[in-house]
Amino acid sequence: MAKQMNKFIRKSLEPGETIVYNGRLHWSYIFGYYFWTFVLFLLAVGACYLGYRDANHAYYYTALALVVLALFVYIIGRVVRTRSEFVVTATRFIQKDGIFNISMTEIPLFKVETVNYHQSLWQRMIGTGCIELVGSGGTSHQIHCIENPMDVRKTIVSAINKQGNKEETPVGQ
């Protein structure tokens, strides 16, 4: 599904601009949805057991309703996770949020002065974290709960450094 969602960002690329890094939210961002899906499935199993033990069809209907609700919660969680994605190109950081109502944030890398990295012990254990891009004039943009935050930081810093080297190279060389 990430490939389909990425079509919107790909349309916004300049001619010849390529994606250096494709990023998305970490699974822990929607942990609550996964948790409630599991709880609803357990309740459905319990209702099936009661229906079998008491030979009562009402328990089976309840179990079916719980399974449908669990699948609905799971699908909502998947949609929530895929609604936000970001890419790093050689010249820009682009973040897209939304499915029906879409908003995009584009930050030219030459405007980024600092890339801050935040990660708690728990986030380090599960592989998530936060990146903050601080631009000229003190403006900042934070991306929370992303996969592989150190890789994202390294990619952004590397792209900024490559861009800086291009600007410092004399024209005749």
Model confidence pLDDT, tens digit, residues 131-172 = 999 988 878 899 888 999 999 999 999 998 887 766 544 444
In this structure, are strands 84-89 and 19-24 parallel, antiparallel, or unpaired? antiparallel
Query: Pick from 138, 116, 120, 140: which is nearest to 129 by CA?
Result: 120
Percent of the chain at pLDDT > 90 equals 36
* Predicted pLDDT at 73: 93
pLDDT digit string, tens, across residues 64-75? 999 999 999 999
Question: What is the end-to-end Cα distance of the chain in Å, rounded?
Answer: 44
* Predicted pLDDT at 165: 67
Which has more pLDDT, 136 or 42? 42
Which has more pLDDT, 137 or 96? 96
How many whole angstroms separate alpha carbon 151 and alpha carbon 129? 11
Residue 11: burial class (beta carbons within 10 Å; 0-12, 13-18, 19+): exposed
Query: Pick from 8, 144, 13: which is nearest to 81 by CA?
Result: 144
Residue-wise burial string across 31-43, b where 16 or more C-beta atoms lie within 10 A, e elsewhere? eebeebbeebbeb
Task: Give the 3-state secondary structure of residue 56.
Answer: coil
Question: 12 with 86: CB under 8 angstroms?
Answer: no
Comparing 80-84, 119-123, 141-145, which segment has the lowest mean pLDDT? 80-84
How many whole angstroms separate alpha carbon 55 and alpha carbon 37? 26
How many whole angstroms separate alpha carbon 77 and alpha carbon 1? 14
Question: 24 with 79: CB under 8 angstroms?
Answer: no
